[in-house]
Structure 1
Amino acid sequence: MQRSAVAGRPKPVEHAETSEASEAEPELKPVDPRAKLRSFRVRALSTIALIGTFIGVIWAGHVPLMFFILLIQFLVARELFRIAYLAQRSKRPLPLLRTQQYFFFFTAVFWLYLRFIKKNLLVEVSSDKTLARLFYWALKHHSLISYSLYMAGFVGFVLSLKKGLYLHQFAQYAWTHMIILITTVPTSFFVSNIFSGLIWYVLPAFLIVGNDICAYLAGFFFGRTPLIKLSPKKTWEGFFGGFLGTLLLAFFLSALMSRYTWLTCPRKDLTVFKGLDCTPDEVFVPDTYTLPDLASHLPAGLASLAAAAAEVLPAGLRGWLADLTFSVAPIQLHALSLATFASFIAPFGGFFASGFKRAFRMKDFGDTIPGHGGVTDRFDCQILMAMFAYCYYFSYISQPEVTLGDVLSQAIKLDDHDQILLVGKLANLLVGEGLIPGDVVDALHRHLGERFTWDLPDS
């Protein structure tokens, strides 16, 4: 491995004439036990620091956690942008390269984040008339603004094209979009999960961390059989040891997390350090189940697999198992599904990253985290987990619910007349229920009656 003298930046390797040379396997060297132990100690300390920081951000709440995800996205994108430049370097610097890359990055962030927090933001904006005046138009035309920003970046890129640099500039343009697609887009789905309840981000993220720790420990103490050439240090023992450890962690950690409303309640605004109180969703409430009942809470594929396995059992044993009862919360069963993905599929994000690093003959994406490498080295599996956790939550767990943010997001799509009509109709209903005085409706009639009618237009 070659490194530059500049703090952790991977030293570029000249392109070989043949593809075989660029993909040559590194020669495995004997492991020094003292070096291995020292590496283990550094990695353990930095892991504790990482988990402590993560817990602190979670304690701070939904909004700080959202910005923490944005920071991670930024650091991962920065590492990959740097590698892209080394891969397609030119004898002359490319004009406005960094400006263009980060402009497209933050344009993608603006488009994605506002899509996920728009309802929460509407609750905040509509609570103050000044904020409503400032941000209402932007929220209503969010898609148009996002597209306009992208077009501004696109036009800027075309105007920056220089003779003799066309190939390098278009290569960087493609790299930029690919990096944004595989990093910013998937992990942004975690933002949606955060406001549905912190547990839907924290639990999947911790399962990835837990699987990494369990697999590392199992491989460190028992690893003998190489798993995949892309990651020579990974072993089958570590792979399956990580799976078993992650299953146990998922089952008990989900039960612990489900006790705290701070983790289970959805956040419907954007306040910070404000307590949460809600009626616990049934997914967090323990109940007594038989094995068939438990199977009914699993995804269809796993439930069918369990039923097929039960059919091959002797009738007596099958009847005995059917009578067994368990006291668990449904979240613990869902956690097992998340743990299975975190153990068997998410690691392929790490294998993908390993292949990417091998293509450029580098050991790590950087040295931001002692003992772990760059930020990308630690969050490559999270990219796959983010999308799965989002899809799983809205496929098997989320219940249809109308919130204030939902109503406001639909109301701003109405034209001016219908918005005023909505206010008038709602005011009449509230007067009828005795929630507001009739003078409010009279005042609305006096101020708006000349321009708007309270009647529905003829159909």
Structure 2
Amino acid sequence: MARKEKTGSRESPAQVQASSPKTTAPRTVSNIKEPSEREKKKQNFIVRTVWTLVMIVFFVAILGAGHIWVIALVGLIQILTFKEVINLSSEPAREKRLPWGRKLNWYFLATTIYFLEGENLIYYFKNVVLVDSLLLPLAIHHRFLSYCLYIIGFVYFVYSLEKGHYKFQFTQFCITHMTLFLVVIQAHFIVNNIFAGLFWFMVPAALVICNDIFAYLCGITFGRTPLIAISPKKTVEGFVGAWICTIVFGVILSHVLIQYSYIICPMEDLGQSVFNHPQCTPDPVFLAQIYRVPPFLQTIINKETIELAPIHIHVMFLATFASLIAPFGGFFASGLKRTFQVKDFGDTIPGHGGITDRMDCQFLMGFFSYLYYESFVSNHHLSVTSILQLAITSLSTEEQIQLVVALEKYLHSRGVADSRILESLAT
């Protein structure tokens, strides 16, 4: 009976909960809210804009510092681009198993840069006439020595092949050489553009940047038709609109730049800068000429002739390539990133990704600009540097002395040189 009373007096769960002291479990309340998608885009836009301005200021400072610093910038860009592309296919586990694989990639890069730029470093050096007996053989046999260096790397690569790693090693070898061809070799011709004058470096680079900006603006404004599957956000309307805007921008930019001798004059001294640079006779391509207007346009502009510098016409062709062909360098890079399932090539530039993400179109544009300049603009005049280079590499010491004596006799006959110089050379 007592047990029943005890059982009957059992409290309900609600009563037990009401009578028992309240015990609150510790809870951590986070006041940090995850940023919304709109806020992320806003932050990314701010970072991207700030670093764009930083890059513009840095680029202008490099241009003012002189040609040698612009060449150094191109060299740094090609090295960083090479590193980012090589890292796409890297496999740390296998690279530890094959410790010389990564070093071999850099060896091929150094060999290629030496082959392409070695002669320029020798013959455009300010005191090239003082090349001593140790450096002279390197100058004369530069290409043969470069080939020997490459063959050493090639033989070592074949020797280092290990069973079970063939696919990885040959993949690295192919990507390395693809990058050398598409990046380093094309960057070499960009350096040649700098020697021809900063105009042929600045304008092509600016056209690519302008086209990229206007393609984005025109695309988000009235873009409707997809352009290419590998890059779904690109539209035909943005593609065509950017082409027109880039041509207008190129003509305006070239009209401004041809006013400055520092921009249009060829490079003569590695030490020259915006504060210290030689004057030159402007190339006829930068001087205004009179052109006859086609009959169907005469009624529209009410003019029979027009005064125009030929460079503006050339820039229109450069702008067309920058708008219609150079973007395929970016499409190629997009396909490469999708192959290795990465968003960007790196995070070198905050808000922009890697160097390759910004320079993928510039290499194609730089190579085309060099070929266009050599084919349609350059007068192929001999320079003191080219003649001196030819005399050093092709003439013996006795023939070089004969050349100096003959040149001195010619200058003496014109009353330019002192006869005492001629007598000292004769002895």
2:68 is matched with 63
1:46 counterpart SS class: helix
Which runs of structure 2 are paired with 1:176-215 in the superposition (5 Å)? 176-215=176-215
Q: Deviations over 1:262-314 (max 9, x none)?
A: 1000012322433121111111112332225xxxxxxxxxxxxxxxxxxxxxx
Q: CA deviation at 1:331?
A: 1.1
TM-score (norm 2): 0.84
Unaligned runs of 5+ in 1: 1-30, 293-315, 447-459
Q: CA-atom RMSD, angstroms?
A: 2.3
Q: CA deviation at 1:229?
A: 1.8
Q: Distance in 2 between matches of 1:371 and 1:78?
A: 19
1:290 is matched with 292
2:6 is matched with none
1:54 is matched with 59
Given that 2:329 and 2:360 are in contact with CA atoms closer than 8 Å, whether structure 1 keeps it comes out as yes
Q: CA deviation at 1:424?
A: 2.2
2:348 counterpart SS class: coil
Q: CA deviation at 1:172?
A: 1.7
Q: In structure 2, what residue type is equivalent to 1:124?
A: N
1:140 is matched with 140
1:113 is matched with 117
Q: Distance in 1 between matches of 2:58 and 2:51?
A: 10
Unaligned runs of 5+ in 2: 1-35
**C-alpha spacing 1:415/1:225, structure 2 compared with 1 (3 Å):** same
Q: CA deviation at 1:354?
A: 0.7
Structure having the higher Rg: 2
Q: CA deviation at 1:337?
A: 0.6
Q: Distance in 2 between matches of 1:74 and 1:344?
A: 27
Given that 2:119 and 2:139 are in contact with CA atoms closer than 8 Å, whether structure 1 keeps it comes out as no
2:371 is matched with 391
TM-score (norm 1): 0.79
Q: Distance in 2 between matches of 1:335 and 1:118?
A: 32
% identical equivalent positions = 41
Q: CA deviation at 1:116?
A: 4.9
Q: Distance in 1 between matches of 2:412 and 2:76?
A: 47
1:103 is matched with 107
Question: Are positions 1:151 and 2:155 aligned together?
Answer: no
Which runs of structure 2 are paired with 1:435-450 in the superposition (5 Å)? 435-446=416-427
Q: Distance in 2 between matches of 1:110 and 1:144?
A: 12
Q: Which has the higher contact order (CA 8 A, sep 6+)?
A: 1
1:39 is matched with 44
Q: Distance in 1 between matches of 2:185 and 2:307?
A: 38
Q: Distance in 2 between matches of 1:280 and 1:58?
A: 20
1:90 counterpart SS class: helix
Q: In structure 1, what residue type is equivalent to 2:54?
A: A
Q: Distance in 1 between matches of 2:227 and 2:292?
A: 38
**C-alpha spacing 1:159/1:52, structure 2 compared with 1 (3 Å):** same
Q: Deviations over 1:240-267 (max 9, x none)?
A: 2211221111010000011111100001
1:415 is matched with 396
2:238 is matched with 238
Pairing partner for 2:84 from 62, 79, 84 = 79
Q: Distance in 1 between matches of 2:284 and 2:326?
A: 28
Q: Deviations over 1:356-399 (max 9, x none)?
A: 11111111111111222111111000111011100100111111
Question: Are positions 1:339 and 2:339 aligned together?
Answer: no
Q: CA deviation at 1:333?
A: 1.2
Which runs of structure 2 are paired with 1:164-175 in the superposition (5 Å)? 164-175=164-175
Q: CA deviation at 1:324?
A: 3.6
How many residue pairs get aligned? The number is 388
**C-alpha spacing 1:232/1:40, structure 2 compared with 1 (3 Å):** farther
Q: Deviations over 1:309-362 (max 9, x none)?
A: xxxxxxx84663695433322111111111010000000001111111111111
Q: In structure 2, what residue type is equivalent to 1:173?
A: F
1:18 is matched with none
* Larger deviation, residues 413-422 vs 185-194: 413-422
Q: In structure 2, what residue type is equivalent to 1:62?
A: H
1:399 counterpart SS class: coil
1:278 counterpart SS class: coil
Q: In structure 1, what residue type is equivalent to 2:346?
A: G
Q: Distance in 1 between matches of 2:37 and 2:308?
A: 46
Pairing partner for 2:299 from 303, 316, 320 = 320
Q: In structure 1, what residue type is equivalent to 2:425?
A: L
Q: Distance in 1 between matches of 2:333 and 2:263?
A: 31
Q: Distance in 2 between matches of 1:279 and 1:100?
A: 47
Question: Are positions 1:219 and 2:219 aligned together?
Answer: yes
Given that 1:73 and 1:184 are in contact with CA atoms closer than 8 Å, whether structure 2 keeps it comes out as yes
Q: Distance in 1 between matches of 2:45 and 2:232?
A: 17
Q: Distance in 2 between matches of 1:116 and 1:253?
A: 29
* Larger deviation, residues 40-49 vs 385-394: 40-49
